[in-house]
Amino acid sequence: MKKVKLGKTYKLFVLPILICFFAFNTFPLINAVVYSLTDSRGFGDFNWVGFQNYFDMFKDSRILNSYLFTFKFAITATIIVNVISICLAVLLNSKIKGKSFFRGLYFLPNILGGLVVGYVFNFFFTFILPSFGKLIGNEFLSTSLLSNESTAWFAIIICTAWQAIAFNTIIYISGLQTIPGDVYEAAAIDGAGPWQKFWHISFPLIAPFFTINMVLCMKNFLMAFDQIVAMTGGGPNSSTESISYLIYKTGLSGSQFGYQCANSVIYFIVIVLISVFQMKFLNKREVQL
C-alpha cells in the first residue's frame, strides 16, 4: 500500500482540541499524581512525603467508609435499576394504548437536574413520608429515613433510581425493538410461554444493551455527587459520604489537598479496573442472532 502523506489540514483539525485536552485533562491528571506524593494543603509550601499518603489512606476509617458506602450504593442501585428497567421496558414494548405518550412520560425524570430532584426528594423523605407514616401509624416510617444512619443510603438510592430507571428503560426498549417479531412467532409455534420467551429470546438478545446499562450505571453511581449534596450532605454521621463528595469536601476546604489527591488516584484506578472487568465479563455472554 502506498504510504499517503498526512495532510497539514488534518493536523490543524486536531490541534486545538489536542492542546486543550492535554492542558485540562492530562496535565491535571499528572498533577494529581504528583500532589499525591506531597503534604500540600492546596496553597503555600509543601514537602515531599513519598507514599505516606497512600499508607495513611488505608488506615483512615473515614476514607474506608466512603469506599464501603460508594460500593454498597453503586452495586445495590445498579441491580435495582436494571431489574425494574427491564420489566418496565418489556411492559412498554408490549401491546398497550398510548405507547409514545407513556415512553415520553417514563423518560421524563432523566432530563431533570439531579440536584433539584435531590432537593425535592429530600423534602419528601423529611416531611411527607414521616407524616404519612404517622397517619397510618407505622413506627418505622414516622421518622425521616434520611436522619437514620442505617436507612439514609437507601433513601438516596430511591432518588437516584427514579432518574436512572428512566434512562435504562429507554435503552432496553431500543434493545427489544431490534428483535424481529418472527423469532417470537417461531417460539410460539414451539409452544413457548411468555416467561420462556423472555428468558430464552429477549434477555439473551438484548445482552449488548444490558452491558451498556450495567457499565454506565456502575460508572455513574460510583461517581455519585449531586444526590448526596442535595439529600444528606454526607450525613448522618458521615454514613453517606461518597468518594467524590469526600474528595470535594475535605480536599478543597479541609486542607487535605495532597492527601485527597492520593485518594483520587486510587479512586481512578478502581473505576478503570471495574469498567474493564465489566466489559470483559459481560461481553462474553452476548449472543448474536
Partner 1 sequence: MATIKKKIKNKGNIAVWGRTLLLILLALTIVFPLYMTVIIAFKQPTEMTNDVSGALALPRHFSFQNFIQAIQTTDFFHTIGNSLFITIVTLIVVVIFHSMAAYAIGRKMNKHKSFNFLYLYFISGMFVPFSMLMLPLVKETSIIGIDNKLGLIILYTVFFFPMNLLLYTGYLKNIPLALEEAAYVDGATTWTTFWKVIFPLLKPMHATVIVLTALSVWNDVMTPLVILSGGSGKDTTLPLAQLLFQTQFGTNYNLAFASYLLALVPILILYLFAQKQIINGVVNGSVK
> Using the rule CB under 8 A, is 83 a contact of partner 1?
no
**Which three cell numbers, joined as nine digits, stand for 190?**
414451539
Q: Determine contact, residues 117/200, Cβ cutoff 8 Å.
A: no
Look at the block and give the residue holding cell 417461531: 186
Q: Taking CB under 8 A as the criterion, which residues in 252-281 touch partner 1?
A: 252, 257, 260-261, 264-265, 267-268, 271-272, 275
> Using the rule CB under 8 A, is 244 a contact of partner 1?
yes
Q: Determine contact, residues 242/70, Cβ cutoff 8 Å.
A: yes
> Using the rule CB under 8 A, is 225 a contact of partner 1?
yes
Would you say 150 or 189 has its CB closer to partner 1? 189
Exactly one of 27, 48, 55, 277 binds partner 1 (CB under 8 A); which one? 27
Task: Select from 18-26, 59-67, 183-191, 199-207 the region that touches partner 1 (CB under 8 A).
Answer: 18-26
Q: Determine contact, residues 74/224, Cβ cutoff 8 Å.
A: yes
Look at the block and give the residue holding cell 499524581: 33
Task: Select from 53-61, 183-191, 198-206, 240-248 the region that touches partner 1 (CB under 8 A).
Answer: 240-248
> Using the rule CB under 8 A, is 73 a contact of partner 1?
no
> Using the rule CB under 8 A, is 105 a contact of partner 1?
yes
Exactly one of 46, 56, 65, 120 binds partner 1 (CB under 8 A); which one? 120
* CA-based nearest residue to 258, from 66, 67, 45, 61: 45
Provide the minimum distance between the beta carbon of 225 and partner 1 in the complex, in angstroms, as a whole number.
Answer: 5
H/E stretch holding 71 reads: helix 61-93
Task: Select from 15-23, 139-147, 183-191, 196-204 the region that touches partner 1 (CB under 8 A).
Answer: 15-23
* CA-based nearest residue to 259, from 61, 69, 52, 17: 52
Rounded CA-CA distance 198/188 in Å is 12
